[in-house]
Each structure stands twice: as structure tokens, then as C-alpha cells.
Amino acid sequence: MTSRQISRRDLLRLGAAGAGTLAAAWATAGCAPTAGGRPGPLQFWQQYAPAPQQDPNLVAQSDWFLDATRRWAEAGERPVDMVYIPAYTDPTNTRLTTAFASGDGPDVFLISPGDFLRYYNGGVLTDLTPYLTQEAIDDFYPDALATRTVDGKVYGLPMEQEPLAIFYDVPAFEEAGLAEGDLPTTWEEMLELGRRLTGGQRTGLVLDTTPSYYQNFTFYPWVWQGGGDVVDPRTQRPVFDSEAGVQALSLFGDAVRTGAAARTLPAGGDLVGAFTNGYAAMWQTGVWQVEAMRQNAPDHPYGIFRLPAPAGGESVTALGGWAWVVNSRGRDPESAARFTVEVMGSMSKESVDTAVQWNGVAKGNVPARRSVTEAIGNSGAFENPVLQQFRDEILPTGRGEPRYPPVIYKAVSNAIQNAMLGGADPLAEAQTAQAAIESYLETYEGGTLV
């Protein structure tokens, strides 16, 4: 974690560690009476506002949130206070878990797809469907909304889509006598290039090595590319021990074993620092890094390319991103739901313009709504050629980040770690994870796994 910002990677890593703590808290919260009708402003817990630093990008994101709450209050609605919770899924920060256990959780908060079922199955989330028009529901891209929907009911509104790609450092390529035509399109070519670019203080290829929801998020596309999955969305049965699952585990293990990828993240996981200081040549990461590079290393040349595919496979990426959700046991769930929908899910010009400002200016992300994409296309906010490439080339290959409960996350995470860093047999690890997932799903009750 750098002093510049708390990244999506850091938040998901911390959130994974807190899975058991949160589950225990909700067991208590399920017995707590509703807190609806309590006095005072609504509370929105998130990691953006008020900005704790003066980094221009962080200030712009903070101002975006503060402006949304100001407009809401000026319209005569119940005020909403922005409560900045740094890495609020950190298990060492017990504020969120304690708040839910006592029935005093935030009224609105942010979650990633990987956290969705943890909250939904705990009975925490408010159904937002009654507050949405069908036109607005249809305006969201299906992959963006599907992981926040259960039985046709919408429980979260995504503010963005965050596809993964491979970022590459142009100076590192030039030093090795490589050009754009040498960019890899297959796994074999990617590993070979990683080995070639590794030397001195530089690692050729960076794949996330920290056990976390984020590492799993970066791993899923490699399984999908071979036609595999962790759980079949249609049958709801585990299929992780398929050839595609074993193949993906082998890829991560081979990357480290052959020296193409490092065992630890260079520059403490900071892509900007790694590229500018010559510590990395290629790095699998997401669209949020485009703005990080623009703000902190605007003159440093870099590019992106699709995730390479295995022999006979097709390039597929994962689409992450944060969503607004409403606490069903909050101070005033109805007001909180109307606020959430008005800002994030209305077809009003103000709502669309607000999303344009977030995705096109404040954060520089791929929108989750068609109307916002169209509006940005007319505004010139995506003049950055890398953002255009994400939108036009990478996004169409995307699939929504899965929502798996902590037990399934952990089974896959253990397999990745053992195969990647422990030298374990990928087939044995896939079979072990498969057995753990099968056992769990025999008694699982909750939202569908997608």
C-alpha cells in the first residue's frame, strides 16, 4: 500500500482476511432489531471522502462524493454524511463489524462483487428494485448488474466496471529490443517474454502473489479462457478440477518456477513506482492504473494488451468495480435507497452527468451504464488512447467478477498459493479445492453463485 492511495487490490486483500470476523458479527446482527427511524443524518461509509490527502486525483474523487450529498440535501432530502473509513474491511479496524453487530451499521456503503454474498446472505442488503425504473435497470450492462442481482431483484448499483489487462513498460521493452509487434498473444509467449525481460532488479511479469479476493479476481480469467469455471453458473455445481482449472493453476506455478514472474510484488505492489524505477516490465492489473499513471507519472511511456489466451482458448478478462448498497437495518432504508438510486441509477440528466464525471474525470474508469458510455463518448473524456483501448478492445472480452462466499474463495485461494508459491501439484490442488467446495455446497443456502 502506498501513501498515494488505497487501491482496490489493498481493499480486497484486507476484506478477505476479515471474512470470518464479519460472518460472526452478522450472526449477532441477524437478531438485532431494525434501527429505522433513528434521528440524525444518514451515514455513507466508503474509502473516498472526505479526502485525507491532497493528491489531486483523490481530492477530485472526494469532491465527487461530497457534491452528490450536497445536492441531495439542497433538494430538501434527509442529509447524508460521508464517513471516510480507510480500508474499512480491515479486520484490525473493528468499526464496521461492531456497528453491524449492534444494529448501528452505515446506511449506505460500498462493496465489490466478491463481497456481495457475504452481505446478501447476512440479510443486510435492501432491495432497490422498487425505486428503479425498468428503463434504468436496462441501462446497466448485464455483466455489471448480474452480480448484484438475486431472483430478479437488484441489491446494489455499480458505479463502474474495472477490466483487467496486461500493462507493459515501454522503456523495458525498448531496452530488450522489443516493439509493439512482440506483444504476446499466448500463454507460452507471455512466459517466454517474462523470462527474457527478467534480469537485475527487474521482473518480467507480475501476477498478484498475495492471498486475497483480489488475487482470486485476477486468477479467474485464466480459468475462463480454457472454458472452465470454479462453479458452473447454470448447474451451481463446482467444476474447478476440470482441465481448464488445472491449466490455470499450472500457469501461475510455471510463471514463478521458470523465473518469468517474481514471488513477491515489486515496489510494494505499486505499479507506478515499479515502472518508473525499472522494477517490472509487464503487470496484470486493472483500468484504475491509467489514472494513477496520469497523475503520478504523466510522461512515462507504457501500454496495455489483452490477457493472452491458452492454445485453443479465447482472451477473456474479469470486470470488477464497486457498487453502492443500502443497509436494510439502517436509520432510514427508504431515504437511503432513494438517495442511492437518484445518484447512481436514475435516468435523469443529473444522474447520468454525475456518472460521467466519476468515470470520465474523477476516476477514469469504464462506465457500468450505456447512457454514461454514450455521454462520455461525446464529451472527449476518453481521449486517453489507453482508456479507449480498455473501452473498445478489452471491455468486450469481459465477464463480471464472480460472487463467491468466503469458503469458496478460500478453497481457490489455497490452491493458487500452493501451486504458485509452494510448488504443489496443480491437479492435486484443484481436486482438494473441488472437494472442499462440493462439501460446502451440499448445505449452502443463499444467493446463487454467478
Secondary structure of 248-302 in the HEC alphabet?
HHHHHHHHHHCCCECCCCHHHHCHHHHHHCCCEEEEEEECHHHHHHHHHCCCCCE
> What are the beta bridge partners of residue 320?
162
Q: What is the distance between the alpha carbons of residues 124 and 394, in angstroms, rounded to a whole number? A: 34
pLDDT per residue as tens, the chain (450 positions): 333 343 444 444 434 434 444 444 443 344 343 444 567 899 999 989 998 777 777 888 999 999 999 999 999 999 999 999 875 444 444 676 677 777 788 999 998 888 899 889 989 999 999 999 999 999 999 989 999 999 999 999 999 999 999 999 999 999 999 999 999 999 999 999 999 999 999 999 999 999 988 999 999 999 999 999 999 999 999 999 999 999 999 999 999 999 999 999 999 999 999 999 999 999 999 999 998 898 889 999 999 999 999 988 899 999 999 999 999 989 999 999 999 999 999 999 999 999 999 998 888 889 999 999 999 886 777 888 999 999 999 999 999 999 999 899 999 999 999 999 999 999 999 999 999 999 999 999 999 998
pTM, entire model: 0.88
The residue among 285, 287, 306, 284 whose CA lies nearest residue 367 is 287
The residue among 256, 136, 239, 246 whose CA lies nearest residue 194 is 256
Q: Which three cell numbers stand for residue 276?
A: 518508473
Q: Which three cell numbers stand for residue 58?
A: 483523490
